[in-house]
Amino acid sequence: MTVVAVLVGLALLAGLGIWLALQHNPHRVLDTVDRVVGPGSDVERVHAADLGDDPRQKLFVYRDGERREGQPVFLFLHGGGWRHGDPEHYAFIARSIAPEGYIVVLGGYRLGEQGRYPAMLEDTSAAIAWTHANIARFGGDPQRILLGGHSAGAYNVVQTVLEARWLVDKGVPRTAIRGVVGLAGPYDFFPFDTDSSRSTFGSVDAGPQSQPVNHAHGDAPPMLLVHGETDTVVRPRNSRALAGALGEVGAEVETLYLPEADHNAPLLALANPWRRDPKVRDRILEFLGEAGSVSVSVQAENP
């Protein structure tokens, strides 16, 4: 009986520890679970770069096994309401995508007061520019960059590619961005009515120009927008609004709406053990494969 009581006590303590870790840093726990329960992986971090004075302005480069030339690149930005998050805790994205033939870059950006609009877009465009200028050193094709993000990170990448000035200012050719995957992203949330949006956007008098839905244009790269139908953090109407705006101007856009799925479900689908249900991951990989399959020739055009 005593042994049973001890085992029960240890199980309760372990459960409490996991619960506390999830409250404090859920994505670090998610990354650990993926690493422990997933299959063995040859994916490794091969480079880290600082992109500014703030410790959040950083990125990490991952690849699977030995260097191969000309691989497409998947640059992913984390979520966290522009207040939380760290690319170091998203290595599960690299372990999910890199074995499929991609160089994976995980990018960070300033958060909180230092990350108020438009700082997160400055940092996102800086990460894209660094990738375009440097990724060939690690076997990546700078003309086949695919972007992705979850929640706030999805906003960052979508706004950066739709509002032309960000890539133009960094000298990144429009044709280098071959596609964008947005997971549960906020794309149409003005006027600001949440604590995070008021703090990050309203406090600096941002207006409609800060909304991706207002920058839809026909030359936008192909996009895949994934959203849970029961997401109460970022309502699925955001993806519907952006998909509608892109469709109206003739841009290529695909959507995947997940019944009975919450805000984190699209992200969980890329981590073990949840990716055993392949619907989301397979759709993302299919989209990335089609968007980044053939390298375009470099043409004489303004970026």
HEC string of the chain equals CHHHHHHHHHHHHHHHHHHHHHHHCHHHHHHHHHHHHCCCCCEEEEEEEECCCCCCCEEEEEEECCCCCCEEEEEEECCCCCCCCCHHHHHHHHHHHHHHCCEEEEECCCCHHHHCCCHHHHHHHHHHHHHHHHHHHHCEEEEEEEEEEECHHHHHHHHHHHCCHHHHHHCCCHHHEEEEEEECCCCCCCCCCCHHHHHHCHHHCCCHHHCHHHHCCCCCCCEEEEEECCCCCCCCHHHHHHHHHHHHCCCCEEEEEECCCCCCHHHHCCCCCHHHCCHHHHHHHHHHHHHCCCCCCCCCCCC
Q: What is the pLDDT of residue 118?
A: 98
Beta strands at 223-228 and 253-258: parallel, antiparallel or unpaired: parallel
With 50 as the cut, is the pLDDT of residue 32 above it? yes
How far, in Å, CA of 281 to CA of 148, rounded?
A: 13
How far, in Å, CA of 258 to CA of 227, rounded?
A: 6
The model's pTM is: 0.90
How far, in Å, CA of 225 to CA of 9, rounded?
A: 44
How far, in Å, CA of 120 to CA of 114, rounded?
A: 9
What would the mean pLDDT of 180-184 be, rounded to a whole number?
Answer: 98
* Domain parsing of the chain, residue ranges: 38-291
Partners of 181 in beta bridges: 148, 224
Q: Which amino acid is at 73?
A: V
- Give the position of tokens 């438009």: 118
pLDDT tens for 68-126 read 999 999 999 999 999 999 999 999 999 999 999 999 999 999 999 999 999 999 999 99
How far, in Å, CA of 287 to CA of 171, rounded?
A: 26
Q: What is the pLDDT of residue 20?
A: 37
Q: What is the pLDDT of residue 293?
A: 87
**Contact assessment for residue 135 and residue 79, using Cβ atoms and an 8 Å cutoff:** no
Q: Does domain 38-291 have CATH number 3.40.50.720?
A: no
**Contacting residues for 19 by C-beta, under 8 A, at least 6 apart:** none
With 70 as the cut, is the pLDDT of residue 260 above it? yes
Number of residues assigned to the chain: 303
Q: What is the pLDDT of residue 3?
A: 56
For the record, the structure tokens of 140 come out as: 């990546």
